[in-house]
Structure 1
């Protein structure tokens, strides 16, 4: 027979004698001396991490150095000018930057619901034997080159989506002004538009948003899942009350990363669009542009000042995508799902 022995509490002594207080329990710190192999490994990891910052800084410095002539020539009007006439020193990105943002927004509107539904299905509903195949298929979509998506959109999607575009403008154009096509030539007015470019780009960001969202959903606490079932919840009820709230921050971060990817897409957009230096207000009409497509299409025929202007445009795009990715990482790290995965 055993009995637990409580530690004796020190009693007070004579008046004026200080009371003895038991030392609090302090956990021991376990440490092991670092071997030469450990120090080399840590040094390599630290160097690899710092090299990322060094490379990003060198890229920014290179773009700033090469774009300095154009920025000095036009100053802050580079951000407000809608024309691109380098010979007349009248050029800027005020038209192409909003158009690129519009293409990215259209891509997100299409891709996010598809990606989230796919992520929920893979993580919560798909049979175990099918799950690995679906994950591999999503990863394979992310590995397809951009030019393949662009060629598919140019030769397969565009001729077949004209009917849908006409239906949208005929039935919704009066109620939604930006869906109105102001000319009726089917051969030219409904092709090479911001909308078609956004559809193609949406296919390219679906794998990114799907993979990140699926990873976050799969890490929802098992105890909370079982608790939801114990309270009588259905599977969809468990997903709605446990999985989706847990992964909210991770999903927002995935969407922002997808947005940065869409902003920087070049080849696919350049193949689809009909370049236009004007602010796009009707997304179904012919004509679109973006900074990345501008650089790709004008690089080969540029003189010194035009090349400097393209480098300055690339600097703006680099800064914008960097800010978006940093904000995405901040959101993920501050979210419940991000804090869980960081432990």
Structure 2
């Protein structure tokens, strides 16, 4: 007879009794640990926000809200404004997403629909390995390889052609320095490409085969099935993948610092050197004396970057919910 069943003659059910006694002690401890884990995350996040806000509060009190809209960053006169860095952060991240998005779609489509099985795994692993490359390696590669190529072969013809077009020429004006917003955006695009592509591949592979076979059965081509079946089925996850890539691009530091030019000047040109919030903090934080206005301004920049990232996350969740509805 099973030891967990009562025996005739008034026997005790020892295993069940011990299990209940153990559960009465372990369950509250386990639940308490889960609560502690959740509270720890919220507490850690709150401490980071509070530290950034309180550290940058003197700069906000000194400059007011003009700190956000001022384009001047001059350590000599101690006149600081965040507009150039905010513009550079958003501009370079948008360039990265615009470049990486079609490439990610193409690679994911190739791996899931066209690529022979013998090449599918090596190419997929190669794409994933790009995510393991340290950001400083991307920066060094960009500085020694991409910047000279941009200065010699890409920027001069664009300046001579598109740079002469009215209005559009503003985006392609200036000397061919090699470094600048476009170069930073391209490096960021390479960095976020594996993240977006990997999620796209996982999403497309999760499409039920019955849906695609039904579309093929009514005469749909490979492109039509991809456009009208696979993408609509996984668009919610794809929106999340795009926002994940955008969030990675917003906070990238070392790679951007190598190739963006680190100039605190506002320019509409893709070729003009600029700066992001992360690159400015990386460049100037070691030289900021403790308690100085420069240090508090840098901390305020960090808080602004956190707010921008939070807004991007909120927008992504709103987009996902709208897709689900």
Q: What is the TM-score when the length of structure 1 is the normalising length?
A: 0.80
Q: 1:118 to 1:50 in 2, by over 3 A?
A: farther
Picking from 287, 311, 320, the partner of 1:332 is: 320
2:294 paired residue number: 306
Q: Does 1:181 align with 2:173?
A: yes
Deviations 1:194-234 (A, max 9, x none): 11111111110101111122222222233211211221222
Superposed displacement of residue 333, structure 1 = 5.1
List gaps (5 residues or longer) in structure 1: 1-32, 184-188
Structure 1 residues 125-134 or 59-68, which shifts more? 125-134
Contact preservation (8 Å) 2:277, 2:305: yes
Question: Residues of 2 paired with 1:309 and 1:220: CA distance?
Answer: 48
Residue 245, structure 1, aligned to residue 232, structure 2: yes
Alignment partner of 1:224 is 2:211: yes
Residues 272-323 of structure 1 show CA distances to partners (whole Å, capped at 9, x for unaligned) of 12222221211123x2111111100001111222111100000000111122
Contact 1:99 1:280 in 2 (8 A): no
Partner of residue 281, structure 1: 268
Task: Report the counterpart of residue 293 of structure 1 in structure 2.
Answer: 279
SS in 2 for 1:91: coil
* Structure 1 contact 250–331 (Cα < 8 Å) conserved: no
What is the rounded CA distance, in whole Å, between the counterparts of 1:209 and 1:310 in structure 2? Answer: 30
1:32-76 deviations in Å (ceiling 9; x for gaps): x99466665555455434433322221111101211111111111
More helix by share: 2
Question: Hey, what does 1:93 align to over in structure 2?
Answer: 82
1:264 aligned residue (248, 251, 275): 251
Moved more, 133-142 or 147-156: 133-142
Correspondence for 1:169: 159
With over 3 angstroms needed to count, the CA separation of the structure-2 counterparts of 1:233 and 1:42, relative to structure 1, is: farther
**RMSD over equivalenced CA pairs, Å:** 2.3
Q: Distance in 2 between matches of 1:138 and 1:325?
A: 25
Find the counterpart in structure 1 of residue 59 from structure 2: 70
- TM normalised by structure 2 equals 0.84
The one-character-per-residue Cα deviations of 1:313-337 (angstroms, maximum 9, x if unpaired) are 000001111221233244335535x
Residue 303 (structure 2) aligned to one of 315, 318, 334: 315
Equivalent-residue separation in structure 2 for 1:50 and 1:330 (angstroms): 25
Structure 1 residues 124 and 49: CA distance shift in structure 2, 3 A: farther
- Structure 1's consecutive aligned runs of 4 or more residues displaced over 6 angstroms after TM superposition are none
Distance between the aligned counterparts of 1:259 and 1:232, measured in 2? 37
